[in-house]
Chains A and B, each alone.
Chain A
Amino acid sequence: FSTFPGNRGWSKRELTYRIINYTPDMPRSEVDHAIQRAFRVWSDVTPLTFTRVYDVTSDIEISFAAQVHNDFYPFDGPHGTLAHAFAPSSGIGGDAHFDEDETWTSGSNGYNLFIVAAHEFGHSLGLLHSNDPSALMYPTYHYTEPSEFRLPEDDVNGIQSLYGARIT
């Protein structure tokens, strides 16, 4: 695993997120569930908590957009880049953007939103890409049945290097 040089992640442990808009590819309830579950991947192994907010700016703003979308990293149409997220900081920091030109799904027929969101939230929390092909933070997409997903050890080690382990 690797982390952003000079960035020790969020200084607080209670983080907020907001879903700015929805993809038409999936029912809203499925998007909500995928996002919530993707955060749980990380909160299960750290002391972090994620609370959804609706009407105020949050730490992690989540949106779907195509092509040019108000940052310096325009999306590229179907396939290629699926999503990106920003390292922890104020403003755009922590925000996650998903390419609306992809086909998002809660299954395997398209790109699984839970898998991609879990990866992007790793960036939102301070992880860079891993060079371990079995890691969630490996840069290329690999479908895993969500019900069978377990956060790989490399990612657990990475996130706990920033926030410590959850005390149960």
Chain B
Amino acid sequence: FPAKAPEANKETDAKFAEEYLKKYYNLQTNGRQSRKKGDGPLITKIKEMQQFLGLKVTGILDSDTMEVMHQPRCGFVDAGE
């Protein structure tokens, strides 16, 4: 069995999450993670999404978060324009 399969899944999850957050939570990123102290835009948006969806707010793409993000949904954005 593959020893490093979870790493590949994490990359796929992160890519999926970024697209999801851009589409539904108005995530704006130039593709680079912030090196400043504190959360970058992606983690901030993950937390915002988790709070909105009634999930535990961790800023991490845990299984509960990924499950909700993979559910079919309305195309309307959850963030203010």
Name A residues whose Cβ lies closer than 8 Å to a Cβ of B: 5, 73, 75, 79-85, 102, 111, 116, 119-120, 123, 128-129, 131-133, 139-141
B72 at the interface (CB under 8 A from A): yes
A contact face: mostly helix, strand, loop, or mixed: loop
For residue B72, which residues in chain A have a CB less than 8 angstroms away from its CB?
79-82, 102, 111, 140-141
Contact of A83 with B54 in the complex, beta carbons under 8 Å:
no
Contact of B73 with A140 in the complex, beta carbons under 8 Å:
yes
B66 at the interface (CB under 8 A from A): no
Of residues 39 to 81 in B, which have CB atoms within 8 Å of A's CB atoms? 51-54, 68, 71-76, 78, 80
| Residue from A84, A111, A131, A141 in contact with B76 in the complex, judged by beta carbons closer than 8 Å | A84
How long is the Cα–Cα vector from A5 to B74 in the complex, in angstroms?
19
Shortest CB-to-CB span from B71 to chain A, Å, is: 4
Name B residues whose Cβ lies closer than 8 Å to a Cβ of A: 24, 51-54, 68, 71-76, 78, 80
Using A83-B74, A140-B68 as known contacts, list a sample of 4 further A-B pairs with CB atoms less than 8 Å apart, ordered by residue number in A.
Answer: A82-B72, A129-B74, A131-B52, A139-B73
For residue B78, which residues in chain A have a CB less than 8 angstroms away from its CB?
128-129, 139
For residue B80, which residues in chain A have a CB less than 8 angstroms away from its CB?
5
Contact of B75 with A75 in the complex, beta carbons under 8 Å:
yes
| Residue from A102, A131, A133, A139 in contact with B24 in the complex, judged by beta carbons closer than 8 Å | A139
How long is the Cα–Cα vector from A119 to B74 in the complex, in angstroms?
8
Chain A residue nearest in CB terms to B23: A81
Q: Known: A5-B80, A139-B24, A140-B68. Contact between A120 and B53, CB under 8 A?
A: no
Contact of B54 with A73 in the complex, beta carbons under 8 Å:
no
Q: Known: A5-B80, A131-B54. Contact between A83 and B75, CB under 8 A?
A: yes
Q: Known: A5-B80, A139-B24, A140-B68. Contact between A120 and B74, CB under 8 A?
A: yes
Shortest CB-to-CB span from B73 to chain A, Å, is: 4
How long is the Cα–Cα vector from A132 to B80 in the complex, in angstroms?
18
For residue B71, which residues in chain A have a CB less than 8 angstroms away from its CB?
140-141
Shortest CB-to-CB span from A36 to chain B, Å, is: 20
How long is the Cα–Cα vector from A145 to B54 in the complex, in angstroms?
24
Q: Known: A139-B24, A140-B68, A141-B71. Contact between A123 and B76, CB under 8 A?
A: yes
